[in-house]
């Protein structure tokens, strides 16, 4: 998938204040939309049900799903991730990288599956190099080489070895 941006947007992005406002708006909106998308993708889970998983009232979930709220803490995001049993990535990136990553806001792009050991079937007996950034691919199998290692990380990253239901970090 290739993204195109208008010359008008790129011209506006040359202004630092515009960039900061653009990023802030997209982050707030993206978080709210993804929380709602993940909740709805779990058999139409209600806000109240998600609230129970998080130990919060339904009104808190309603605020989290409101893109105008914008006062989400890192701890709250960690609580949301734990309730959905998904990972959370908070990472500073270049503006160009941000535009690429935030280009697709479809339900499919916002989906994050809960942990399932079968997600790791490709690496059952092989060490996994954890990349610092994993771009979106339509077919993740195409990025693995013969040894089932992902790319060549630029730094020495921890290795995870899976044996049965146990994993070890080296």
The CATH number for 87's domain is: 1.10.260.40
Q: How confident is the model at residue 123 (pLDDT cuts 50, 70, 90)?
A: low
SS3 of the chain: helix, strand, coil, percent, to 5: 45, 10, 45
Q: Answer positive or negative: Cα dihedral of 138, 144, 148, 154.
A: negative
3-state secondary structure of 161: strand
Could you give the CA distance from residue 56 to residue 168 in angstroms, rounded to a whole number?
34
Q: Which domain holds residue 141?
A: 117-169
Q: Does 1 map to a domain?
A: no
Q: Does 144 map to a domain?
A: yes
16-40 and 74-84 helices cross at what angle (nearest 10)? Answer: 30
* Domain match, 92 and 63 both: yes
What is the model's pTM?
Answer: 0.67
Query: In this predicted structure, what is the pLDDT of residue 160?
Result: 55
Final residue belonging to a domain, choices 110, 131, 160: 110
Bridge pairing between strands 128-129 and 159-163: antiparallel
* Domain match, 103 and 123 both: no
Q: How many domains does the chain have?
A: 2
What is the tens place of the pLDDT at every residue in 6-65?
Answer: 888 889 999 999 999 999 999 999 999 999 999 999 999 999 999 999 999 999 999 999
């Amino acid at each position: 998938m290739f993204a195109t941006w208008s010359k008008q947007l790129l011209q506006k992005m040359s202004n630092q204040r515009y960039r900061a406002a653009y990023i802030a708006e997209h982050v707030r909106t993206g978080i709210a939309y993804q929380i709602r998308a993940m909740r709805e993708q779990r058999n139409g889970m209600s806000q109240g049900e998600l609230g129970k998983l998080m130990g919060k009232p339904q009104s808190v979930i309603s605020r989290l799903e409101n893109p105008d709220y914008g006062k989400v803490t890192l701890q709250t995001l960690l609580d949301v991730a734990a309730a959905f049993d998904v990972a959370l990535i908070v990472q500073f990136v270049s503006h160009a990288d941000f535009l690429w990553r935030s280009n697709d806001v479809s339900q499919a792009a916002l989906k994050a599956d809960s942990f399932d050991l079968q997600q790791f079937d490709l690496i059952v007996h092989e060490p996994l190099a954890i990349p610092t950034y994993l771009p979106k691919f339509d077919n993740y199998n195409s990025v693995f080489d013969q040894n089932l290692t992902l790319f060549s990380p630029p730094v020495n990253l921890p290795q995870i070895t899976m044996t049965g239901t146990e994993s070890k970090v080296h």
